[in-house]
Amino acid sequence: MYAIQQYDAFGKIPSPGFFEIELIFDGNYQECRRISGVKYDTNYCYVVLIPGRNADCSGGNINNIGNQVAFRRAVCMPKSCGSGDTVNLYNQLSGLPLTACATFCSERDVPKDSSFWGFSIFMTVIISIAILATSVDYLRESVCSVTTKSIEKTYSIFRILYACSFWTNASTILNVSPQPDSYIKCLDCIRGLSMAWVLSAHVLNYFLFSDTLMPIKSFASYFADSFFINANFSVDTFFLVSGITVAYSFFRMKPTSKILRSPSTWILFYVHRFIRLTPPYMIFIGFYTVYSLYIQGPLAASLFNFTVLQVEACKASWWRNLIYINNFDDGENPCYGPSWYLAVDTQLYLIAPILLIGLSWKPIFGIVLSIIGCAGSILTVYILYLKFDLPADSFHSDASGKFNFYIYQKPWIRCPPYLIGILVGYYLAKNPGTSKLQLYRKVFFMGISFVLPFCFLIANKGYDEGKHQLEKSYVKASYYNFSRFFWATSVGYIIVACHRGWAGPIGNFMNHPIWQPLGRSSYSAYIVHLMIVYYFLNVGAKPLHFVSTWQVYVYYILPATILTFTFAFFWSCLFELPIMKLEKYLLEVLRIKKIRSEPAPAEVPAWKEHHIHI
């Protein structure tokens, strides 16, 4: 009876829905677990199969297997069997015209090495400090009725401690009080919605590995699917917003020529960026490296346990992430996929002073530099497309990875939205407050700004469906170039219109304070989202099954979005906000010392209060 139950947990070939072109022949995970330990421990695994008897498995390299037609069949095997044992047994006993090449199991032994214990101790210390700070902060407010400012003036150590207070940090994130007119309110809405858009696309990416092929082939045929297929525009929105915040905060403080000529100005410019972004980011890289291997289950096994390779990449090349050059990796398994964006954004930040100084000296000079940068990027795209015949968008990214390596993750390709953002930020800083604009102009420009991006969302629908091919490389390059350029221009105008009072009810919606918590936590949400999505999808007992985009949105995207922002809220309270507050305190201490040592008042760098949100 035990052997019958064990075999009953196997995936059956053929199974119902065979003509849907099943890629995963699933069994019964719960039955395999239920019988584990009765006679011996069992493990629910997937055997990777390729067509043909004694077919070439490419030396067991799963990266090569993934480029072939690879099926996966569930098997319930003794836990003592290794991957090679299962492959050999399957090839000897199976009479099907399929060759087993590798095995991936839902339960793996993950050794608790020194990195695990070291990082776990670090997290325990941080959480303990946060609990202590929160307790002291709560007692100060509720029992002693002492204000934060009064106690901080008396004891500086309390200011350091309160920076870690979950009580205060949570209040900072969740605060929805109206902001001053100088604050670009609509950016919180744009950050929050763009982050949700990125997350939805990454959830749908997992469904490309669904258990059946035919439903996925029809994915692009629905009108609403274009919104998810073209989610790469959300990244261009992030670059635009990043450029706006850098330029706006810089020019709003009206830097003098003395500040521009001071080396310490630009040293602080870069140090601030590094301190602001790096601690929460690199701590999460450590968190991912140590704990992601414990996310196990049928889904992880059906996806070839790809986190194992990413974790190995993190252990070998974490320093690339630390100095923000990981977007130049040519490997197929990067250290935490979404981190490429932070690298590109930082590299663009490195060149931002050229434009900031140019705009400060003569605005036309900065504008010309931006135009030259955009033109150079556009020309580079044409050259690369003509040389490599790349796809028009990331939905058609080929298995060779050329699109990602040459186009998607390079700063000289992604720079136009960032350069446009710097010009928009400069304009807003030089033209503060609201102004009058004729009604017909408001309607016309807002209409163009919404219609133009919408056209680019659906312009290549037939191409994505496979109904027609864009055979000319220059046509694909033109779409890639100008869709991103006009997308950034349109979103940039919407931001200007919302800030200057030209957007009407749309501006009221986007400027509403309710968006502030999402905007404040968007950076942490971007950092953590992929691991949270991976964890959420692994909660189930089966591989993913695609029915429709609406099904994915309701059952997966919405819950994953809520879970991501919830986790990001805690991550921001623990790491992001404390670092921001401690940096601010350190700058104040250094400024006071500098003032005391100099007869004249020291000028303050323009961005010292600026916090970049992604």
In tens, the pLDDT along 418-456 reads 999 999 999 999 998 778 888 878 888 889 988 988 888
**99 and 203 share one domain:** no
127 in a domain, yes or no? Answer: no
Tell whether 279 is covered by a domain: yes
> 77 and 192: one domain?
no
Q: Are residues 386 and 512 in the same domain?
A: yes
Q: 190 and 56 share a domain?
A: no
**Mean model confidence pLDDT for the chain:** 87
Residue 611 has pLDDT above 60, yes or no: no
Question: Are 204 and 77 in a shared domain?
Answer: no
Q: Is the peptide bond before 14 cis (omega within 30 degrees of 0)?
A: yes
**Which residues share a beta bridge with 231?**
none
Tell me, what's the pLDDT at 120? Answer: 96
User: pLDDT value at position 282?
Assistant: 97
Average pLDDT over residues 257-264: 89
Decide if pLDDT at 225 tops 60. Answer: yes
Instruction: Give yes or no for residue 146 having a pLDDT over 80.
Output: no
Q: How far is C-alpha 231 from the geometric centre of its chain's CA atoms?
A: 12
The number of C-alpha atoms within 13 Å of 207 and in the hemisphere containing its C-beta is 26
Helix (H, G, I), strand (E, B) or coil at 17: coil
C-alpha span between 486 and 452 (Å, rounded): 7
- Asked if pLDDT for residue 67 goes beyond 90, the answer is no
Lowest mean pLDDT of 78-82, 221-225, 594-598, name the range: 594-598
Mean pLDDT along residues 583-593: 76
Asked whether 50 and 69 are in contact (CB, 8 A), the reply is yes
Q: Is the predicted pLDDT of residue 597 greater than 70, yes or no?
A: no
The residue with greater pLDDT, 38 or 325, is: 325
SS3 of 591-613? HHHHHHHCCCCCCCCCCCCCCCC
Mean pLDDT of 295-324: 92
Of 304 and 332, which is predicted with more confidence?
304
User: Using an 8 Å Cβ cutoff, are 49 and 99 in contact?
Assistant: yes
Does 365 map to a domain?
Answer: yes
Q: Is residue 169 part of a domain?
A: no
Q: Which of 102-116, 522-536, 588-602 has the lowest mean pLDDT?
A: 588-602
How sure is the predictor about 20, in pLDDT bands with cuts at 50, 70 and 90? confident
- Crossing angle of helices 232-252/340-361, nearest 10°? 40
* pLDDT band with cut points at 50, 70 and 90 for residue 148: low
**186 and 100, same structural domain?**
no
Asked whether residue 122 is domain-assigned, the answer is: no
pLDDT at residue 68, rounded to an integer: 53
**Among 65, 87, 105, which residue terminates a domain?**
105
The Cα 290–Cα 315 span in angstroms is: 10
Q: Are 336 and 321 in contact (CB under 8 A)?
A: yes
Please indicate, yes or no, whether the overall pTM of this predicted structure exceeds 0.95.
Answer: no
Q: Which residue has the higher pLDDT, 295 or 466?
A: 295
Give yes or no for residue 332 having a pLDDT over 90: no
Same domain, 70 and 192: no
Stronger pLDDT, 614 or 549, i.e. the higher one: 549
Residue 22, φ and ψ in degrees, nearest 5? -70, 135
User: Tell me: the pLDDT tens digits for 103-114?
Assistant: 999 988 898 989
168 within a domain of the structure (yes/no): no
Residues 93 and 189 in one domain: no
In a domain, 53, yes or no: yes
Its domain, for residue 96, covers 2-105
Determine the Cα–Cα distance for residues 448 and 468; give it in Å rounded to an integer: 28
Domain presence at residue 517: yes
Domain shared by 92 and 218, yes or no: no
Q: Which residue has the tokens 């940039």?
A: 492
CB 344 within 8 A of CB 325: no
Tally the domains of the chain: 2
Separation CA 14–CA 31 (nearest Å): 20
Give the per-residue pLDDT at 56.
80
Q: Which of 52, 82, 105 is the last residue of a domain?
A: 105
Q: Give the whole-angstrom CA distance, residue 506 versus residue 503.
A: 5
Going edge to edge, which strands form the sheet with 24-25?
Answer: 24-25, 71-78, 42-51, 98-105
Residues 203 and 87 both lie in one domain: no
Of the listed ranges 4-18, 64-78, 164-178, 294-308, the one predicted with least confidence: 64-78
Q: Nearest-5° angle of CA 193, CA 195, CA 197?
A: 70
Residue 276: what pLDDT? 92
Helices (H), 389-472: 402, 411-430, 439-458, 461-465
Q: What pLDDT band is residue 13 in, cutting at 50, 70 and 90?
A: confident
Share above pLDDT 70 across residues of the chain, in percent, rounded to a whole number: 89
Which among 218-222, 392-396, 472-476 has the top mean pLDDT?
Answer: 472-476
The residue type of 141 is E
183-197: average pLDDT: 96
Poorest-pLDDT segment among 107-121, 560-574, 591-605: 591-605
Determine which of 132-146, 184-198, 252-266, 500-514 has the lowest per-residue pLDDT on average: 132-146
Through-space distance between the first and last CA atoms of the chain, rounded to whole angstroms: 57
Report the sign of the C-alpha dihedral through residues 153, 159, 162, 163, in that order.
Answer: positive
The tokens for 549 are: 């985009």
Of the two residues 193 and 398, the one the predictor is more confident about is 193
| Residue that has been written with the tokens 């929805």 in this structure | 176
> According to DSSP H, which parts of 208-306 are helical?
214-217, 225-229, 232-252, 257-261, 263-291, 298-302
Residue 55 sits in the same domain as residue 191: no
Q: Is 470 exposed, middle or buried (CB count within 10 Å of its CB: 0-12, 13-18, 19+)?
A: middle
Residues in the chain: 614
Task: Indicate whether 79 and 186 sit together in one domain.
Answer: no
Q: Tell me the average pLDDT across 267-278.
A: 93
Domain finish residue from 105, 133, 163: 105
- How many other CB atoms are there within 10 angstroms of residue 269's CB atom? 21
At residue 153, does pLDDT exceed 60? no
